[in-house]
A and B are shown apart, each in its own frame.
Chain A
Amino acid sequence: MAVSTASAPRRKRRDSERRLAFWLLLPAVLAVFGVILYPLARTLLISLFEVKSAVAVDTPFVGLGNYVEALSASGFWGALGRTLYFTLVSTSIELVFGLGIAFLLNAKIRGRWLLRALVVLPWAVPTIVNAAMWKGIYNAQYGALNGVLSHLGLIDSYQAWLSDPMTALNLVIIADAWKTTPLVAIFLLAGLTAIPSELTEAAKVDRAGAFQRFFSITLPLLLPSIALVLVLRTVEAVKVFDIIYAMTRGGPANGTQTISYYTYVTAFSEQNYGLGSAISFIVLLIILVLTTVYLRMLRRSEMSTL
């Protein structure tokens, strides 16, 4: 080992540095253990038992029974389907609008700092407040959406927007995208500013058109940022819970019940903690697979650009 060849005083100093590092890291290790590893292990453990009460004493071991039950329930697949739809649509909206906003904010215009600050505002709004706000906008009696559309003559009478399952899901997606698009935009803006302007200028000199410059230079260089944002947003979208809870509580007719909400209902409303834990582990596996795929893509795109 390298340590054995070093002189004694240096080794001593390095050891004391290590000791310091260890003690400095210990609180973080404990915190990670307490808030991540321990709950994770507990959830895995509970998912193997039949636990029908928060204070249950009699909890028979059922092995993978809960996983089988979860995967054979139609409610699970329905919720998973809605979650995938939510993830796909919301992430696409956020990416497209985020990219557009990022380009606007990257343009050299006066008062750019102000615009950049303003754009972040929706993201700074707490989800619960955002949900209440959009619930108000969609309200069937006094909602702003009804007001605007009827003033424009697009609708004859006020609509109960959140009363149709599919419409409700789409409208929740819009509410969620409104809040998170700024985050995506800021991430992509960071990626944009990192692209050396010499490249595009050189391309301009070579008479490359705007589209060509975008697809041949900007987009490939932006791929790492896009991949990063994709990972973040996909994982978040699969986990979506709070905006659903605040806006629709999974209704109408389960139309907005995503997998996290389904898990919550199973575990806490129906007090079936074993099954609920099993479902959350299945969701964890799905997220893990998605993340692995994305990170692979990310690494490949980094290699190709560097």
Chain B
Amino acid sequence: MEGKNLRRVQRSLIAGVAAAGLMLTGCSVTGGGGGGEAGDGTGEINALFMKQAGYSEDDYAQIIADFEEENGGDITVNPTFVSYEALHDKIVTSAPAGTYDVVLIDVIWPAEFASKGIVADLGDKFPGASKDELLSGVIPTAEYQDKFYGVPNGPSTKLFFYNEDMISEVGATAEDLDTWDGVLATAKEIKEAGISEYPIAWSWAQAEALICDYAQLLGAFDGEFTNDDGELVINNEQGVAALEWMKQTIDDGLTNPASTTFLEDDVSKALAQGETAFGLNWDSTMRDLQDPEISTIADAAGVLATPKGPNGARPGVNGAMAYSITATSVNQDAAWQFIDYMTSEETQEKYVQSSQPSWKASYEKPEVIDVNPEVFAVSEEAYADSILRPAVPNYSTVSQIIQVELQNALLGKKTPQEALDDAVEAANAELED
């Protein structure tokens, strides 16, 4: 009898656990839908940042220490850092648990994150009263369908970095680097003089970095990603010309062939080690190139706005990022206070070596400009015109399609026209969904 009872207990226990599990799965397939809370504006918040371009880990550590001191310890901040390549997936996978209160998002993600309920609408908090004091170009960084989902951490684009010693050795000056034609001519001389085997390095790995470089060249060739109907059109004349140009620089031996495995950091390192003369990279690269501990060209690093294309166009890719509050955060008021502090005029001006400020007034202050004169000197030109990547909820899918096809052309598996035809066909099928 007892044996039977025990078996019954066992069976019902196991069934109970299984039923509980099924009930859990039954109420919502994702288990999601739990809303965030404002909280009482104090306590601990978790923030997710990236370690790559922009503010460094040391910068954030200092900002957090200052913030905690200013609010008297009412709010403490735990930062987590991941590489840019891991940032999107980390935000997505941590969303159901509400692990992070503050997340740094890229300009290409607001449509996805907003439409999928991952980041919170900032309501009347941003842009708020300071609208007129901000650069008009940065305000829409995290805008989607007329709502704001993040506060921009400043304008950001890819600038053109060069090695002053290498160009002066072949008798060239910065003026020769005003156009891509000039860059190629100088690169050829540098290669022929045996100064650098491959004078140009790019971030052409299968990653978003490739899209950013392509965007800037697409702009230089007067192209755009999408037409007025939102369809991808990069298989048109301009789009193909930009890609053919990229491939030609590989074939001519001017582009480092390892570029198809490089991310931005690799380009920065190749420049810093004096292996290469030229590279497109984010504005914070100057900080690293001028740091004698990691750079052999600390005194020879130069920076310019991105070179002009055949008809004089030189748009920079809009690479701004923004601080968002997650929709599942239960301490949203405290999160906002931290974001408000980080993006204030005063804080941003302290870290202009890492990132350009969002505030118009900062660009008029000599004491601010003096900290990073090279980049400030080119910023007006660099931000005058910009090229946008498509702002669609499934951007990640579209971007991956384009990345693979660009690489197919760069690696000689397809002609540029074929590759872009295939990219446009596959991407537009996704965009129609």
Contact = CB atoms under 8 A, between A and B. Distances in A.
Interface of A: 3, 11-12, 14-15, 18-19, 22, 26, 29-30, 33, 37-38, 41-42, 45-46, 49, 51-57, 59, 140-141, 157, 160, 162-165, 248-254, 265, 268-271, 273
B396 A56 contact: no
Select the residue from B17, B206, B261 with max chain A CB neighbours within 10 A. B261
B6 A15 contact: yes
What 6 pairs across the A-B complex have the smallest Cβ distances? Answer: A251-B206, A140-B258, A53-B116, A55-B32, A160-B258, A253-B407
Contact of A252 (B32, B205, B328, B396): B205
Given A53-B117, A141-B270, A268-B92, A252 B206 contact: yes
A160 B89 contact: no
Nearest to B327: A55
A46 B18 CA distance: 17
B197 interface: yes
Contacts of A165: 411, 413
A160 B95 contact: no
Contacts of A160: 256-258, 260-261
A252 B411 contact: yes
Interface in B198-221: 205-207
A55 B97 CA distance: 9
B70 to A, nearest CB: 33
B411 A55 contact: no
B10 interface: yes
Given A15-B6, A55-B116, A253-B411, 8 more contacts: A14-B3, A18-B6, A22-B6, A46-B29, A55-B96, A55-B327, A269-B400, A270-B394
Interface stretch (B20-28, B148-156, B178-186, B381-389): B20-28
Contacts of B327: 55
Contacts of A42: 25
Contacts of A37: 18, 21
A269 B14 contact: no
Interface of B: 2-3, 6, 10, 13-14, 17-18, 21-22, 25, 28-30, 32-34, 85, 88-89, 92-93, 95-96, 112, 116-118, 197, 205-207, 256-258, 260-261, 270, 273, 275, 327-328, 394, 396-397, 400, 403-404, 407-408, 411, 413
Contact of B96 (A54, A248, A269): A54
A113 to B, nearest CB: 42
A22 B14 CA distance: 12
Interface centre among A37, A140, A273 (most CB of B within 10 A): A140
B32 A53 contact: yes
Given A163-B257, A252-B261, A54 B118 contact: yes
Contacts of B116: 52-56, 271
Of the candidates B28, B258, B327, B408, the one having the most CB atoms from chain A within 10 angstroms of its own CB is B258
Contacts of A59: 28-30
A59 B397 CA distance: 20
B419 to A, nearest CB: 9
Given A249-B85, A269-B396, A56 B32 contact: yes
B347 to A, nearest CB: 31
Given A269-B89, A271-B92, A271-B112, A163 B17 contact: no
B194 to A, nearest CB: 13
26 contacts: A11-B3, A14-B3, A15-B6, A22-B10, A29-B14, A29-B17, A30-B17, A33-B21, A37-B21, A46-B30, A53-B116, A53-B117, A54-B32, A54-B95, A54-B116, A55-B34, A56-B33, A57-B30, A57-B117, A141-B258, A251-B261, A253-B408, A268-B93, A270-B396, A270-B397, A271-B396
